[in-house]
Chain A
Amino acid sequence: MGDRHGDRAAFRTMNLELDRLIRRIVREPTLLDEVTLATIGTRVSEPEIRMLLDKDLAGLRGRDAHPLLLMQFAGAFRIEPMPVLGRQPDQSQS
């Protein structure tokens, strides 16, 4: 009690459906198919489905996908995350 910890000490707003779907796809990458996604009963929105199909990591981040799931998704599809999500190594020293 009495600690000042801010937002990270509170339950954050999550995109639970998107996170669940990313987790499924990471474990079974063949799910990432337009027809398949239409049949598995997800409640993820159409724009988010498009981002998944396009492997749009920055877009998914903008939809509050969990950072660790974004990293797993990148790994599953052999996407180097730093160029699309962060800084290039030569810009990275602070």
Chain B
Amino acid sequence: MAQIVAGYGVSHTAMTIRKYAPGADAAQDRVHAAFARLRAEIAALEPDLIVMVSSEHLNSFFYESFPQICIGLGTQSTGWGDAGVASRDVSIAGDFAAHLLGFGVAAGFDLSWSVEPKLDHGFMCPLTLLRPEMDIPLVPIFQNASTAPLPPFRRCAELGRMLRAAITARPTEERVLLLAGGGLSHWVATPEMGDINADFDRWFLGRVEAGDIDALTALEVDRIDREAGNGGQEIRNWITVMAAGSGPGTTLSYEAIPEWATGMAIARLFER
């Protein structure tokens, strides 16, 4: 059967690439060094594919069709080239994606799907930093983190558990890497834009390190808006991947980067 070889969460702000000048800021350099370490760790795992749960930013979907959760199918996608992150072609693990979709729907999870959706920086920024070769096929899973109504966090965890069941039910032998994109605290186009709530971020990472998903699924959606910003809603992607594993996680890097207006985090979300 297929196996989950690891699960990670990483911030995905495009400013990590667009507004980075090597050597100009020690904290920014540390973020990039942490991405480089994770890049090596992922390479050593030799995954056959990446299942990435992230949020897009009204580039791929709009009001005429707006999924809460959407799986990308097909054979190849490409980046939007938005927000200063270069467009690249990305292979889609279409057969695996179709398996996740079919399993999920059969299990009562009403998933949307999109054939070869374009990918914005929510996907492309982490992939560019973690696998610039773009040679590992991807299953993109879009989760709404931007536009009300937002699903409760317990539903995001249920998605993760469904993904785990679907992956372990797969009869073939793929090595699957799970990757969550987004967060931590940041405010997008609000008067608080530029704020970072490092206290919240450290609390959140503490729950990751404790493997305490119950504390995270108990969070109220509005509380996240208040304490972590409208962009902080992307922690739901971390919760999904966290729920696909078990046991404590590990914070690999945390830096509050004012110039990027984001609490930048990188973490293993569960033990291998």
- Report which A residues bind B (CB closer than 8 A): 3-12, 14, 16, 19-20, 23, 57, 61, 66-72, 75, 81-82, 85-94
A92 in contact with B195 given A68-B188, A86-B190 (CB within 8 Å): yes
Write out the residue numbers on chain B whose beta carbons fall within 8 Å of the beta carbon of A57. Answer: 189
Bound Cα distance from A45 to B224, whole angstroms: 33
Q: Say which residue of B57, B220, B224 sits within 8 Å of A71 (CB atoms).
A: B57
Write out the residue numbers on chain A whose beta carbons fall within 8 Å of the beta carbon of B191. Answer: 85-87
CB pair A89–B196 under 8 Å, yes or no, is no
A92 in contact with B194 given A8-B150, A10-B148, A10-B149 (CB within 8 Å): yes
Does B256 have its Cβ within 8 Å of any Cβ on chain A? yes
Write out the residue numbers on chain A whose beta carbons fall within 8 Å of the beta carbon of B193. Answer: 81-82, 85-87
- Report which B residues bind A (CB closer than 8 A): 57-59, 62-63, 82-83, 146-152, 154, 187-199, 220-222, 224-225, 230, 233, 256, 258-259, 261
Total A-B Cβ pairs within 8 A: 114
Write out the residue numbers on chain B whose beta carbons fall within 8 Å of the beta carbon of A86. Answer: 187, 189-195, 261
CB distance from A85 to the nearest CB of B (A): 5
Write out the residue numbers on chain A whose beta carbons fall within 8 Å of the beta carbon of B149. Answer: 8-11
CB distance from A31 to the nearest CB of B (A): 16
Q: Is the interface of A mostly helix, strand, loop or mixed?
A: helix
Bound Cα distance from A66 to B147, whole angstroms: 8
A60's nearest neighbour on chain B, judged by CB, is B189
A71 in contact with B189 given A8-B221, A9-B148 (CB within 8 Å): yes
CB pair A87–B195 under 8 Å, yes or no, is yes
Write out the residue numbers on chain A whose beta carbons fall within 8 Å of the beta carbon of B62. Answer: 23
Write out the residue numbers on chain B whose beta carbons fall within 8 Å of the beta carbon of A93. Answer: 195-196, 198, 256, 258
Q: Say which residue of B58, B196, B259 sits within 8 Å of A72 (CB atoms).
A: B58
CB pair A88–B147 under 8 Å, yes or no, is no
CB distance from B171 to the nearest CB of A (A): 36
CB distance from B158 to the nearest CB of A (A): 13
Write out the residue numbers on chain A whose beta carbons fall within 8 Å of the beta carbon of B256. Answer: 93
Other A-B contacts than A8-B221, A70-B189, A93-B196, 13 sampled, CB-CB below 8 A, are A5-B222, A9-B148, A9-B221, A68-B146, A68-B188, A71-B188, A82-B194, A82-B261, A86-B187, A88-B194, A89-B258, A89-B259, A90-B258
Write out the residue numbers on chain A whose beta carbons fall within 8 Å of the beta carbon of B192. Answer: 86-87
CB pair A89–B194 under 8 Å, yes or no, is yes
9 residue pairs, one from A and one from B, having the closest CB atoms: A86-B193, A6-B222, A87-B194, A67-B189, A92-B194, A89-B258, A5-B221, A92-B258, A70-B189
Write out the residue numbers on chain A whose beta carbons fall within 8 Å of the beta carbon of B195. Answer: 86-87, 92-94
CB distance from B36 to the nearest CB of A (A): 24
Bound Cα distance from A33 to B192, whole angstroms: 31
Choose among B62, B82, B194, B196 the residue with the greatest number of A CB atoms under 10 Å from its CB.
Answer: B194
Choose among A8, A70, A72 the residue with the greatest number of B CB atoms under 10 Å from its CB.
Answer: A8
CB distance from A78 to the nearest CB of B (A): 11
Bound Cα distance from A93 to B191, whole angstroms: 14
Q: Say which residue of B151, B190, B197 sits within 8 Å of A67 (CB atoms).
A: B190
Bound Cα distance from A72 to B48, whole angstroms: 34
Write out the residue numbers on chain A whose beta carbons fall within 8 Å of the beta carbon of B196. Answer: 92-94
17 contacts between A and B (CB under 8 A): A3-B154, A5-B152, A5-B221, A8-B149, A8-B221, A8-B222, A11-B148, A20-B63, A69-B58, A71-B189, A72-B59, A72-B82, A81-B193, A82-B194, A82-B261, A85-B189, A93-B198
